[in-house]
Amino acid sequence: MLISSKGGLIERLGELMRILFFIILLDIAGFGILLPSIMFVLENMGAGPAYASIIIATYSIGQFIAGPFWGALSDRIGRKPVLAIALSGAFLAYIIMIYAKTPEVILLSRAFAGLMAGNIATAYAAIADLTPPKDRAKGMGVLGAAFGLGFVIGPAIGGYLGGATPETANIVYPAIASAVFSLMAILAILFLFKETLDETHRQEILSKPRVTRLEAVKKVAAHPVLIIFCLFIFLVSTTGALMDPVTPLLVGNRYGWGPEQMGHIFVIVGISIIIVQGGLVGRMAKTFGEKNMVRIALVSLIAGLTLIIYTPISYGVVIGFCLTGIGSTLFTTGISALASHRAAPHERGLVMGVIQSMQSLGRSTGPLFAGGLFVIWQGLPYGVGIVLVTIALVWMSMLIKGGKIEDVHRPESSK
């Protein structure tokens, strides 16, 4: 660990965690600023739903391709330089978007941003550097809180800057704000953040044989239940990615809502997720167990998706988005805990890496089809999501009934 002296350890550790929280908060908020308006802008530029959703997918595709490279590079040269490079890439991508006049320029911006998105994997690695195993989950919670808050602050700003109606939506002011946030994060990295990877730890990492993504999947495949968990994660991630690109178009067509109203929706959903993360997840795991929490999450997703499709009232769709957001949060927490419990201690990092890859693959796959499905019927992307989540729910219930899944926490009702 970087901080080896016992005196002042807690204070220094807390300081670095606060700085890392601030950096990721700025980064995620900058990313979130674009969300309320980007689909409206693409539509106004002449991109149909199918083409626009593919443009949105390029970020996740780039992230999926380049993510392992950035993680490995941070093991060789350190966390600080990779964070600085990644945030500089985001800054340049936002500058490109400021001058975008065609969908193709936005595609270039999003693809470049995705290929440069090594910040999250590196931030997780920095948390691992800073925390002993027993405090690792608590440290990861710091990043989770930064994510949640960033997705509240960013869309709130983006909704205000992006325009009041679909017709007046713009990307210039949100992109400028995103660039400013990225620049602030870069300055925080350069002047406040201290390298977390010391030379001893770096040499230890480099001395170990590198495991490719395919080799990692093969190792996970030795545990059949873990492979099934990865399929569940892919199905749920794909469902979320089917929703995200077309949701602005759905509410725009139904209610005439623009970026400003989309910003409000993101804020409401973000606050509901923060409440669940902060107060309910731990209690639910202890009361029901992780396996039942996953089933509750999948039911919440199905209910939310159904409500979005069929609600006759405008605020019903907001409730639907809250249910899907809460369901996704509960699912990710529960399935990650179950997966880590099934893996041997020396395999947990590898398993978490495969899980993150499956999430990225789902986020890359969903948008490729979302726009085409939306053209056929506006509720079809959500309907396909219902089918995918139902498959996961039925399969999960069969595994539980067969006694193939054990909880990390023993439910209080069984004590």
Mean pLDDT taken over the chain: 84
The three state secondary structure string of the chain is CCCCCCCCHHHHHHHHHHHHHHHHHHHHHHHHHCCCCHHHHHHHCCCCHHHHHHHHHHHHHHHHHHHHHHHHHHHHHCHHHHHHHHHHHHHHHHHHHHCCCCHHHHHHHHHHHHHCCCHHHHHHHHHHHHCCHHHHHHHHHHHHHHHHHHHHHHHHHHHHHHCCCCCCCCCHHHHHHHHHHHHHHHHHHHHCCCCCCCHHHHHHHHHCCCCCHHHHHHHHHCCHHHHHHHHHHHHHHHHHHHHHHHHHHHHHHHHCCCHHHHHHHHHHHHHHHHHHHHHHHHHHHHHHCHHHHHHHHHHHHHHHHHHHHHCCCHHHHHHHHHHHHHHHHHHHHHHHHHHHHHCCHHHHHHHHHHHHHHHHHHHHHHHHHHHHHHHHCCCHHHHHHHHHHHHHHHHHHHHHHCCCCCCCCCCHHHC
CATH number attached to the domain at 215-415 = 1.20.1250.20
pLDDT score at 128 = 72
Residue pointed to by tokens 């899980």 = 355
Is it the case that residue 406 has pLDDT exceeding 80? no
pLDDT score at 402 = 84
Highest mean pLDDT among 337-351, 373-387, 392-406: 373-387
- Region 386-407: mean pLDDT is 89
pLDDT score at 36 = 92
What count of other Cβ atoms lies within 10 Å of the Cβ of residue 398?
Answer: 11
pLDDT score at 71 = 76
Least confident piece of the model among 4-18, 151-165, 242-256, 356-370 = 4-18
Is it the case that residue 281 has pLDDT exceeding 80? no
pLDDT score at 274 = 81
pLDDT score at 164 = 87
In percent, the amount of the chain with pLDDT more than 70 equals: 83
**What is the tens place of the pLDDT at every residue in 202-226?**
676 666 666 666 766 677 767 778 8
pLDDT score at 136 = 60
Is it the case that residue 242 has pLDDT exceeding 60? yes
Q: Which of 145, 151, 174 is nearest to 258 (CA)?
A: 174
| Residue 127 confidence class, pLDDT cut points 50, 70, 90 | confident
Is it the case that residue 4 has pLDDT exceeding 60? no
- Region 342-356: mean pLDDT is 64
Is it the case that residue 63 has pLDDT exceeding 80? yes
- Region 166-177: mean pLDDT is 94
Q: How far is CA 323 from CA 151, 198, 328, in A?
A: 16, 43, 9
Is it the case that residue 15 has pLDDT exceeding 50? yes
pLDDT score at 76 = 81
| Residue 43 confidence class, pLDDT cut points 50, 70, 90 | very high
pLDDT score at 2 = 42
Which is more confident, 400 or 181?
A: 181
Tokens of 41: 């802008």
pLDDT score at 342 = 67
The second-level CATH assignment, the architecture, of 7-210 is Up-down Bundle (1.20)
Is it the case that residue 369 has pLDDT exceeding 70? yes
DSSP states along 60-87? HHHHHHHHHHHHHHHHHH-HHHHHHHHH
Is it the case that residue 170 has pLDDT exceeding 90? yes
Domain coordinates in residue numbering, the chain: 7-210, 215-415
Is it the case that residue 17 has pLDDT exceeding 60? yes
DSSP-H helix ranges across 99-171 = 103-115, 119-130, 136-162
| Residue 309 confidence class, pLDDT cut points 50, 70, 90 | very high
Is it the case that residue 276 has pLDDT exceeding 70? yes
Is it the case that residue 174 has pLDDT exceeding 90? yes
Is it the case that residue 187 has pLDDT exceeding 80? yes
